[in-house]
Structure 1
Amino acid sequence: MQVKANGITLEVQDHGDTANPALILIRGLGTQLVHWPENLITGFVAAGFRTIIFDNRDVGLSTRFDTATAPAEADDIIAKALAGEEIRAAYSLSDMACDVIGLMDTLDIGRAHIFGISMGGAIAQLLAIQHPERILTDTLVMTTCRPLVERGAVAELLPKLVAREDASLEAAQDALVAEYGIWGSPGYPASEAYIRAQAQAAYLRGGPKAAGINRQLLATMSAPDRRPALKALDLPCCVIHGLDDTLIPPDLGAEIAAHIKGSSHHAIKGMGHIITPMLAPEIVRIVSEFVRQKA
């Protein structure tokens, strides 16, 4: 369904009993709601959550910002970054956090449990920092609290993250298979048939579109250092990170947990930077137990 939130339109799926506590899942860079494993959603529903998933702005069936003046071409972004130029973003991760608050307002959800992965984990941090009165618990998965540029040399990192248009379904499928090979969870592998089906589902929903992904990347690049604010956070937080994450090293997940007083930290062997169907039951178990302990 289409939902008006924060002045834009978000594509949303609402699963489970609406009388149950709401759990809102936030995707990472460039990905769509169809990239959540189905058994992750059904697992959360079975655990007693009203489970809400959605397309972030600029991907899938949510509002695109194609008229924005911010750069969206991969080579342009890389060139400006290497030259040390300030790159103006079309919107911020705080704007994307406000999208979630707008979604909650439209669905008449006063407070919710939040679960964010990667870029979505950064958005989840900003929700806890800027809108704590709306958050019951915050689960931060495969993410970091540092500014993106602090994670390594721009010349090494940006080419791995910028997007270029895929001209065909087969190219999009090949690209996702390659991503699973680089960023995936080696202890919890996914079949190539599953990955190709996932890529097809995303492709048929109007994606991936490189411009939108790159605008999300610029928002991530412009996000502030969250370490000082996390130290003052008084909110139940669960940090989950893979010990085999080749995109965001596991020590950066441990750093988040170290900054949040009383947080729960789970480092999972065999988990990389993608939640696969094999990994989903363990994620559901950790989050469900964490929420029960904090309820």
Structure 2
Amino acid sequence: MTAVAPRTERRTRANGIELAWDSFGDPEAPPLLLVMGLGAQMVAWDDAFCAALAQAGGHHVIRFDNRDIGHSTHLPHAGVPDIQALMLQAMAGRPLQVPYTLRDMADDCAGLLDALGIARAHVVGASMGGAIGQEMAIHHPGRMRSLTSIMSSTGDPALPPPTPEALAVLFAPAPTSFEAYLPHHAKLWRVLRGPDAFPLDEARDAERAQLAFLRGLNPGGVARQLAAVFASGNRKPALRAVQVPTLVIHGDVDPLVPVACGIDVAEAIPGATLLRIPRMGHALPIAMWPQIIEAIAAHTARAARRADH
């Protein structure tokens, strides 16, 4: 894997908070915003993946820490939600009182584009980041050149749930010592990557765990993000009116967000393209980067051609 020069991280005021971000590729190239998932910092978009995506698509790739994670603003004053109580309220169909929603996080994305002087960007979101991208397509379509929603869902409660094992690792509290965090991180990704072995990723697990740990964990922020997911409900009716060119990427063996959820996103958004990847779970395995990057680059190129006509 080609080494990538260290990035210069910046913090920018956006939507009333500060967001940490960095970028890859030519700043004059068409911008592409990467949005990460629940509790995941921007470095979960691997440096080499970002550099390859910038090169393949001719993009200025921007990644950032969502609110309440990494080096972006943390919101401890908002309190730590009772996730179990919220789940019960959601199942009963009652409205949830939460610190913020995925729409607020989509507003963060639009605010970051504002702060960077970007009128419109390609948006690529993974997991919760895909749901945030969908919220952008619903509420900020004029800011988007295209959407790529990876391993995400419409939020329809009728869709299949995660496997018990995936739920267990998702809800397992992150240890506070690095020695305990290493095996916790390895087990989490061993489950989320699915039944197959991915030796290239397993070899990087310790390095990735160290990077996340040193940048700082925020369990309260993860709980608030999870509350935002629960409170944001079913996007499916609103997605039927989305006109943003959309690509949906989903793994066939995703244990956390089953493939039926990705199919549902693709069926909900008019004209969306679906790419199902065999053997891929709830992760972006190194061995599958070429296929994923090629699909995103082809999609953004199609969207650009469509916009020109």
- Superposition TM-score, scaled by structure 2 size: 0.87
1:77 to 66, 78, 83: 83
Q: Is the 8 A contact 1:147 1:221 kept in 2?
A: no
> What amino acid is aligned across from residue 35 of structure 2 in structure 1?
I
Q: 3-state SS of the aligned residue for 2:232?
A: coil
**Hey, what does 1:260 align to over in structure 2?**
269
What is the aligned length? 290
CA 1:121–1:238: 2 relative to 1, 3 Å: same
- How far is 1:22 from its partner? 0.4
In the TM superposition, what is the alpha-carbon distance from 1:80 to its structure 2 partner? Answer: 5.4
User: Is contact 1:29–1:213 with CA below 8 Å preserved after alignment?
Assistant: yes
8 Å Cα contact 2:19-2:65 kept in structure 1 = yes
For the 8 Å contact 1:66–1:212, the answer to whether it is kept is yes
1:97 aligns with 2:103: no
After superposition, the Cα gap between the structure-2 partners of 1:89 and 1:242, relative to the gap in structure 1 and judged at 3 Å, is same
Residue equivalent to 2:145? 136
Equivalent residue number for residue 53 of structure 1: 63
Task: Please give the secondary structure, in 1, of the residue aligned with 2:149.
Answer: strand
- Tell me if the contact between 1:149 and 1:221 (Cα under 8 Å) persists in the aligned partners: no
Q: Give 1:190 shift.
A: 3.6
3-state DSSP of counterpart to 1:293:
helix
Task: State the distance in 2 between where 1:91 and 1:179 align.
Answer: 26
Q: Which runs of 5+ in 1 are unaligned?
A: none
Separation of aligned partners in 2, 1:80 and 1:283: 35
Q: Which residue type is aligned with residue 35 of structure 1?
A: A
Deviation for aligned residue 1:294: 2.3
SS of residue paired to 1:116:
strand
- The corresponding residue for 1:195 is 205
SS in 1 for 2:84: helix
Q: Render the CA deviation track for 1:60-93: whole Å, top value 9, x for unaligned.
A: 000001111352xxxx422553476865211111
Cα displacement string for residues 175-229 of structure 1 (whole angstroms, at most 9, x for unaligned residues): 111111111153755443301110100100111x211111100000101211111
Tell me how far apart the structure 1 counterparts of residues 292 and 227 of structure 2 sit (CA, whole Å).
29
How far apart in 2 are the matches of 1:225 and 1:272?
Answer: 23
RMSD: 2.3
Q: Which amino acid aligns with 1:246?
A: P
| Gapped regions of structure 2 (runs ≥ 5) | 1-9, 305-309
Matched, 1:278 2:306: no
Q: TM-score, normalised by structure 1?
A: 0.91
Q: Distance in 2 between matches of 1:158 and 1:147?
A: 18
Aligned residue for 1:204? Answer: 214
Q: Which runs of 4+ in 1 moved over 4 A?
A: 82-87, 147-151, 153-160
2:165–2:191: 8 Å Cα contact kept in structure 1? no
Q: Is the contact made by 2:159 and 2:261 (CA closer than 8 Å) also made in structure 1?
A: no
1:63-74 alignment runs, 5 A limit = 63-71=73-81
Q: 1:25-82, CA deviations, whole angstroms, 9 ceiling, x for partnerless residues?
A: 00000000111122210111112100000000011000001111352xxxx4225534
CA distance, structure 2, for counterparts of residue 217 and residue 11 of structure 1? 20
**Compared with structure 1, are the counterparts of its residues 155 and 193 closer, same or farther at alpha carbon in structure 2 (3 Å cutoff)?**
closer
Counterpart code for 1:60: G
Q: Output the CA distance in 2 between the equivalents of 1:93 and 1:253.
A: 18
- Per-residue CA distance 1:257-290 (angstroms, 9 max, x = gap): 1111111110000111011222222111000011
Distance in structure 2 (CA, Å) of the matches to 1:96 and 1:233: 18
Shift of 1:109: 0.4
Mapped to 1, the partners of 2:197 and 2:269 lie a distance apart of 28
* Counterpart pick for 2:47 among 27, 30, 38: 38
Query: Which residue of structure 1 aligns with residue 32 of structure 2?
Result: 23
- Percent identical among aligned pairs is 37
Distance 1:281 1:166, change over 3 A: same
Per the alignment, in what secondary structure is the counterpart of residue 63 of structure 2?
strand
How far apart are the structure 2 equivalents of 1:166 and 1:101?
34
**1:189–1:113: structure 2 CA closer, same or farther, 3 Å change rule?**
farther
SS across alignment from 1:9? strand
Distance (Å, rounded) in 2 between the aligned partners of 1:88 and 1:282: 40
Query: 1:82, 1:255 → 2: CA distance?
Result: 24
Please tell me whether the aligned partners of residues 162 and 213 of structure 1 are also in contact (alpha carbons under 8 angstroms): no
